[in-house]
Amino acid sequence: MVNLLSSFWFIPLYPLIGSALIAVLRRGSGYIASLAIALSFLHGLGAALSPRSSAVTKHLYEWMPGIGFNLFYDDLSALMVLIVGGIGLLIHVYSIGYMAEEDGRWRYFAYLNLFVFFMFLLLLSSNLVLLFAGWEGVGLASYLLIGFHHDRPNVNRSANKAFLYNRAGDAGFLIGIFLLFGVAGTVNFQDLNRLAASPAVLAAALLLALGATGKSAQLPLFVWLPDAMVGPTPVSALIHAATMVTAGIYLFARLAPLYAIVPEAGLVIAAIGAVTALIAATIALVEHDIKRILAYSTVSQLGLMFLAAGLGATNAAIFHVATHAFFKALLFLCAGNVIHSLHGEQDVRYMGGLKDRMPWTFRLMTLGALSLAGFPGLAGFFSKDEILIAAQGSPWLLGIAFLVSFLTAAYSSRMIWAVFYGKYDRTDAHEAHGTTLHTLWPLAIGSVIGGYFGPHSKDGLWIMAASALISIAGLWIGRGLLIPQTLKTLFTQKWYINDAYELVWVQAIGKRGAAGLAWIDENLVDLLPRVSGYFTSGLSYLSGAFDRLVVDGVVKTVAISFEAASFPVRLLQTGRISQYGLVIVLTLASALGWYWLQ
């Protein structure tokens, strides 16, 4: 019998093989991809249920001294594998129906399997270098999935934007790895977590956090995620709700002892998370695109997870990762059903009357929204309250977290009210069926009971009570919340962050930088080949002159000398018989005359 724990390193192989098979066969892509993820999930479940006294490491090969291709399995990686595998399986099955009419479905499922492979590699890596390989792999796969409809210019632009913003963060991540390797001589997590505090470790921790802000869509690199909603809705559910964007939180949890010795880095992370959560929640409050509302909600919830991780409450952060995966994936897939039913309409202002047209989607999406809002008794309530309890030592962070909780409930209520109770009576809508409906039930169950299986603090009852009241108040007020015009303009313009980036990066640095580089290229870079050309041209001129004046001059001089020396002879040797006869006659006449004169 196969020992599922000792062979845990097979878990990433199933989706990798599935992706390769799909690329070759191209038939039955949805079923092959779903089977591959099902095998990974079942293997992960079997490994998690196997008795284990300590973490298990699988050494595959040594890449270079101190850096090995080693996989690592412990409680944290077991939980994350089950989340990614379970949610991923449901989304794969959902996609079979959702993508049934799309051209190039095999590419979609091949990319989806490839993404899950890299995500498993990230979660099971035992060192930062291998984690970075998975980190970059999920970035590549997400780029391919976001740009699935590559014949649309706005899709390509959004895919490039996501790719470039992630690369900006990953540059900091890579420098942080080099710095830690220089300090410790290793990149293994177990060794790094035993380091002592130093300025270099603090700098490395902040650089790794910069990489996390890119992958988990936090300030200053969060603007890519809302634009990534141009990808197919199941992609948004998998990548931007349950898996890739939580990679930063997983990194903090994996290196929790390292961040504990440099609390300054933790405070920076907590501050970034709090500010991002507030900004994203306010934007979601005025957004009209249903998928962008959920995208900004994701950014906001990730901000709360950053806040908890920065304060050292990584258990609370991972708890919220788990519950968020259920209710946010549920919301995205329900949104996909709505969009599909309305023939691609995504603006909530043109929705309404769907409560009776799509009764099951209505019930399930409302359940997901209530869990997101932290309604008492649902999964989101418990995990969010653990974050609030972790923040009670800092009044300003706790105040921001409470405000974000209120705004979350408000925009959740606004979204549900606009979609299902809005002024438009969309009689053309119809309920989802098959895999696009039945795969929602496990997510709905997780959105209800998932909160009962996590860590629960017993010293924050007043926070739980306040959170419950805030959630209910936000749900009630959110239906008709009136925002002052000044604030509404600020929120609608997304706090002008995108505009600022456009002005600084695209206009100032991009266009003017391109003009400056063009000048440098023309006047400095091109100067070298020009100088080389001038030198070669001058040298060839001198060589030609030397050839004409010296080499040819010697030859011509010799020729002229022989010509001059032969001139008298040429006067005599004309080759004419008459001249020769004349010379003979004259010579004889002269000889006879001389003889007679004697």
The predicted structure's pLDDT at residue 211: 94
Instruction: Check: CB of residue 462 under 8 Å from CB of residue 360.
Output: no
Burial class (CB in 10 A: 0-12, 13-18, 19+), 407: buried
HSE-CB for 206 with a 13 A CA cutoff: 13
Instruction: Check: CB of residue 454 under 8 Å from CB of residue 382.
Output: yes
Q: Where are the alpha helices (DSSP H) in 187-313?
A: 189-192, 199-215, 224-227, 233-237, 247-254, 256-260, 263-284, 290-310
- In angstroms, the Cα distances linking 188 to 56, 129, 172, 251 are 14, 9, 19, 13
The predicted-structure confidence for 77-102, as pLDDT tens digits, reads as follows 999 999 999 999 999 999 999 998 88
Per DSSP, the three-state class of 60 is: strand
Gap between the Cα atoms of 309 and 315, Å rounded: 8
Taking the CB of residue 489, how many other CB atoms lie within 10 A of it?
A: 12
The predicted structure's pLDDT at residue 570: 67
Domain map (residue ranges) of the chain: 272-492, 526-565, 570-598
| Peptide bond preceding 220 in cis form (omega within 30 of 0) | yes
Nearest by Cα to 484 from 282, 280, 349, 290? 282
Gap between the Cα atoms of 95 and 92, Å rounded: 5
Identity of the amino acid at 377? G
Torsional sign, CA 551, 553, 557, 559: positive
What is the enclosing helix (H) or strand (E) of 364?
helix 359-372
Digitized pLDDT (tens) for each residue of the chain, 598 residues in all:
467 888 899 999 999 999 999 999 988 999 999 999 999 999 999 999 988 878 898 888 888 777 888 899 999 999 999 999 999 999 999 999 999 888 889 999 999 999 999 999 999 999 999 999 999 999 999 999 999 988 888 889 889 999 989 999 999 999 999 999 999 888 999 999 999 999 999 999 999 999 999 999 899 889 999 999 988 989 988 887 778 888 999 999 999 999 999 999 999 999 999 999 999 999 999 999 999 999 999 999 999 999 999 999 999 999 999 999 999 999 999 999 999 999 889 999 888 888 888 999 999 999 999 999 999 999 999 999 999 999 998 999 999 999 999 999 999 999 999 999 877 777 778 888 888 999 999 999 999 999 998 888 887 889 999 999 999 999 999 988 889 999 999 999 999 998 888 888 777 776 677 777 777 777 777 777 777 777 788 888 888 888 877 877 788 788 788 777 776 766 667 777 777 787 788 888 888 888 887 6
* Maximum Cα interatomic distance, the chain, rounded to a whole number of Å: 163
Nearest by Cα to 56 from 132, 4, 13? 4
Phi/psi at 203 (5° precision): -60, -45
